[in-house]
Chain A
């Protein structure tokens, strides 16, 4: 059985995570799109922490008999990995868009420079 104190401490930590994420969204420092995964992480951890029987049941299913709270670590790590992977895809997309923008800027600048050269030529 999960010790009560571990349950309380883990619940508080999960609650804090949820509150911090909500506050970041409220302050527009985190976009909802990226916050969603964190909120899911927080809620899952909160449920696993507070619902002691549930944690024990899942631990038994997975063959973890000696120390059920290990499931909390496993769940937390799993979600962190998912969040990181998600960020890698976001980064890749941003890098692509960055390249595209740099190319467009360079091509437009070139066109602009040629146009102003032509205008100067007309003025002479």
Chain B
């Protein structure tokens, strides 16, 4: 079996409408990328469509939430021995054309994890609604203070990782807006994090399903999780990364 050196991890939950296009787009952009779609307990044909478009498919027996699904993808990357991984969302909002910019600092050995930021310098294209912008700003400021590093986009799931990053996230990855907490995790484990400005597309299928009350709940929950994460010793819960 021939294997590309880069694995694209695509978490998807009921994305039958978009997943085929996402897989095709990645493969069309660079046929050297392998694609794994993690189907997070979808009730539609997400798994079948992803497989038909040539992706490896890992189907979770029930819905774990985005964090659990993403972590599954990194566990797959670790098991299969990939040196580099990128993560794109299954709804098509991440453009594979941006991948080389994400990968460059990792390949150059300057960073272990690179996040595509919608708000980094020179990036003014993306204007989310006010409530969302407040939440995003709050977490960006909080995380920047906690990690003593300027972070502009803590909720972006557009990332590139080397083997160290893959191993960290395979062993420990939070749930519910996992990217915010994961940033602190990266800092605690002394991995090098970088941001590069990227453009993201508007969501193609359906609206973000998060209501106002839920957002408030998440802001409090994730803030608590952040503070706890800072107080925690940087040990993995179950040392999955050392599994053969």
Contacts and interface: CB of A to CB of B under 8 A. Distances in A.
- Interface range for B: 10 to 19
Contact of A107 (B62, B68, B72, B238): B72
A105 B59 CA distance: 9
Interface of B is mostly: mixed
A102 B61 contact: yes
Given A109-B59, A110-B59, A103 B238 contact: no
Given A109-B59, A110-B58, A110-B59, A103 B237 contact: no
A103 B75 CA distance: 8
Contacts of A99: 64, 68
A26 B117 CA distance: 59
A75 interface: no
A103 B79 contact: no
B61 A110 contact: no
Contacts of A102: 60-62, 64, 68
A72 to B, nearest CB: 35
Nearest to B39: A106
A64 interface: no
A102 B68 CA distance: 9
A93 to B, nearest CB: 10
Interface in A101-116: 102-103, 105-107, 109-110, 114
A100 interface: yes
A99 B176 CA distance: 14
